[in-house]
C-alpha cells in the first residue's frame, strides 16, 4: 500500500514530463519554416486536382467515346464546327438532312474516302472505326438516328 503510493508518485511526474516534451516537439516545428509532413500532404492535395482534372477528362474520353467527341474534335470540328469549305455544320439538321437520307454507309464512305473539299479519313490518323463513330456522332447531332458502329472488325469490313 505504502509502496504503491510511492511508485505512483515517481512514475506520474515522469509521464507528465514525457507527454509535455512530446507535445512540445510536435508543436514547435509546425510553427517554423519547414513544413511538417501534414502540411506537405495538404499542399500536395491542393495541387493535385489540377493534374487530376486532366487525367479524368482524358480517361472519360477514353475507350467508351473514342469515335464520338474525341475524334470529332480532333479531326472533324476544324471544318464541321463552323461549316468551313461547305461542310455540313455540326448540329445543323437542315444541312445534314439530305445527306442523312443517303444512309450511313454512304456517309461513312465519304468520310473514309473523302468528298470534294473533305480529305480522305479527314487527313488524320484516325482508324476506320473511329471515323465511323465520328460520322454517327455528327450525323445524329444533325437529326439522324444511326446506331453506334459495332466492333472495329465489323466497322472496317462494312467500309469495304
Ligand atoms: C478539311 C475540312 C473537313 C474535315 C477536317 C472534315 N470534313 Fe467532313 N466534310 C467536309 C466538306 C467540305 C463536306 C461536304 C462535301 C460535299 O458534299 O461536297 C463534308 C461532308 C461530310 C459528310 C457528308 C458526306 C456526304 O456524303 O454527304 C460526312 C459524313 C463528313 N463530312 C464526316 C466527317 C468526319 C467524320 C470528319 C472527321 C473524322 C470530317 N468529316 C472531317 C469537310 C471536312
Under the banding of pLDDT at 50, 70 and 90, the label for residue 4 is low
Highest mean pLDDT among 44-48, 82-86, 153-157: 82-86
Contact 101, 159 (CB under 8 A): no
What are the sequence ranges of the domains in the chain? 2-60, 65-158
Q: Which residue has the higher pLDDT, 92 or 56?
A: 92
Contact 156, 128 (CB under 8 A): yes
Percent of the chain surpassing pLDDT 70: 68
Nearest CA to ligand 1 atom 43: 118
Ligand 1 pocket, Cβ-based, cut-off 6 angstroms: 71, 75-76, 78-80, 85-88, 99, 102, 106-107, 110-111, 115-119, 122, 126, 131, 134-135, 138
pLDDT tens for residues 113-147? Answer: 999 999 999 888 788 988 999 999 999 999 999 99
CATH superfamily of 65-158: Cytochrome c-like domain (1.10.760.10)
User: What spacing in Å lies between the alpha carbon of 129 and ligand 1's midpoint?
Assistant: 16
pLDDT confidence of residue 153: 56
Amino acid at each position: 500500500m505504502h509502496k504503491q503510493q510511492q511508485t505512483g508518485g515517481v512514475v506520474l511526474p515522469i509521464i507528465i514530463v514525457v507527454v509535455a516534451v512530446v507535445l512540445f516537439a510536435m508543436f514547435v516545428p509546425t510553427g517554423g519554416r519547414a513544413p511538417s509532413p501534414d502540411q506537405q500532404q495538404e499542399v500536395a492535395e491542393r495541387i493535385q486536382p489540377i493534374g487530376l482534372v486532366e487525367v479524368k477528362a482524358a480517361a472519360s474520353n477514353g475507350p467508351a467515346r473514342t469515335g464520338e467527341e474525341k475524334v470529332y474534335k480532333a479531326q472533324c470540328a476544324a471544318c464541321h464546327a463552323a461549316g468551313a469549305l461547305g461542310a455540313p455544320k455540326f448540329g445543323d439538321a437542315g444541312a445534314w438532312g439530305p445527306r442523312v437520307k443517303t444512309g450511313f454507309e454512304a456517309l461513312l464512305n465519304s468520310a473514309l474516302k473523302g468528298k470534294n473539299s473533305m480529305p480522305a479519313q479527314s487527313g488524320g490518323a484516325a482508324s476506320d472505326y473511329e471515323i465511323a463513330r465520328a460520322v454517327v456522332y455528327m450525323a445524329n447531332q444533325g437529326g439522324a438516328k444511326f446506331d453506334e458502329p459495332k466492333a472495329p472488325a465489323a466497322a472496317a469490313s462494312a467500309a469495304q
